[in-house]
Structure 1
Amino acid sequence: MTEERYPKVEHYVGEIKGGLRPAMKLTVIGMVHSNPKSFSVTLLCDPVDANKDVGLLFKVNFSDKSITRNARIAGKWGREEKTIPYFPFTAGDTFKMELLCEHQQIRVLLDGRQLCDFTHRIQPLNLVKALQISGDIKLTKVA
């Protein structure tokens, strides 16, 4: 029974074969834990060394209902972007998140609705080689 109350924190790392490129779509389907604090979806340049550059950190914080986006280049985090039209995540609910890579930006859709965009800061895009997901969610599918 304790398993249900303290679900294990998800930690997933998947390689993006050949690196990120325009017209590529990453899909994350999962379920938010019943008492979530936060989770993050991160596009990494190095799947092994998480201290390397980050193409996109998408961090969902339930305590203040915020979604923060940022990137790390040459070891330095850039300017945070926090504007969202609505907070789409609910404890205990399933969600489908799609990251659409376009030429200028990554477009984030949630359950088919556009949530936000994040302009690429890392060039060339194919330096982004891995998807990392961690936090208070249970993944059902990553594609």
Structure 2
Amino acid sequence: MADNDNSSSAKPFVGEIKSGLKPSMKISVMGMVHSQPNSFILSLTSNSLDPETDVGLEVTVSFRDRSVVRNAKVSGKWGKEEKNIPYFPFTPMQHFKMEILCEHQQFRVQVDGQQLFDFTYRVQQLQKLTALKIIGDIRLTKVV
């Protein structure tokens, strides 16, 4: 995926995942949190243009609630939200590195090298997930 200078928070970053996700792949998202953030959303989807697309993982980070909510959408239906996290890793005006590791049964997500959560796959065909979308109150510096 190419770097994207995203100076405007309203314009989403969309990166293509060539030939889709597969076990043992890793996606790294590096950026800096805005000075007065509300939230940001990261999604792994099957088609960035179709609103009815499957979403393998959507992570919604809320600074007001200090929450990191995960969910997935399969066949047009959102599943049960997962919210448990051991700590809230994001701070205004601080850089972060979020890594999404594709394991055999789940996504494992780490922030700055610390385990944040696991999310069991709900979309069974990982290779259908071909787009990474990020929107919200962060400035991306690198996505690989």
AA in 2 matched with 1:74: S
AA in 1 matched with 2:88: F
The SS at the match of 1:41 is strand
Residue 48 of structure 1: aligned partner: 49
Give the distance between the partners of 2:40 and 2:52, measured in 1 at CA. Answer: 18
Alpha carbons 1:99, 1:109 under 8 Å: kept: yes
Alpha carbons 1:38, 1:61 under 8 Å: kept: yes
Give the distance between the partners of 1:17 and 1:63, measured in 2 at CA. Answer: 35
Q: Structure 2 stretches of 5 or more lacking a match?
A: 1-6
The count of residues paired between Structure 1 and Structure 2 equals 137
Q: CA offset at residue 48 of structure 1?
A: 1.7
> TM-score under structure 1 normalisation?
0.93
The SS at the match of 1:106 is strand
Give the distance between the partners of 2:91 and 2:121, measured in 1 at CA. Answer: 28
AA in 2 matched with 1:42: S
Q: Structure 1 stretches of 5 or more lacking a match?
A: 1-6
2:8 pairs with 1:8: yes
Alpha carbons 1:28, 1:97 under 8 Å: kept: yes
1:45-84 equivalences in 2 (<5 Å) = 45-84=46-85
Residue 4 of structure 1: aligned partner: none
> TM-score under structure 2 normalisation?
0.92
Residue 127 of structure 1: aligned partner: 128
Give the distance between the partners of 2:21 and 2:86, measured in 1 at CA. Answer: 26
Alpha carbons 1:84, 1:116 under 8 Å: kept: yes
Give the distance between the partners of 1:76 and 1:34, measured in 2 at CA. Answer: 34
Root-mean-square deviation (CA), in Å? 1.0
AA in 2 matched with 1:16: I
Give the distance between the partners of 1:34 and 1:61, measured in 2 at CA. Answer: 14
Residue 142 of structure 1: aligned partner: 143
The SS at the match of 1:131 is strand
Q: CA offset at residue 137 of structure 1?
A: 0.2
Q: Which ranges of 4 or more aligned residues in structure 1 deviate by more than 6 Å?
A: none
Give the distance between the partners of 2:51 and 2:138, measured in 1 at CA. Answer: 20
Residue 4 of structure 2: aligned partner: none
AA in 2 matched with 1:83: N
Give the distance between the partners of 2:132 and 2:8, measured in 1 at CA. Answer: 19
Residue 111 of structure 1: aligned partner: 112
Q: CA offset at residue 8 of structure 1?
A: 2.4
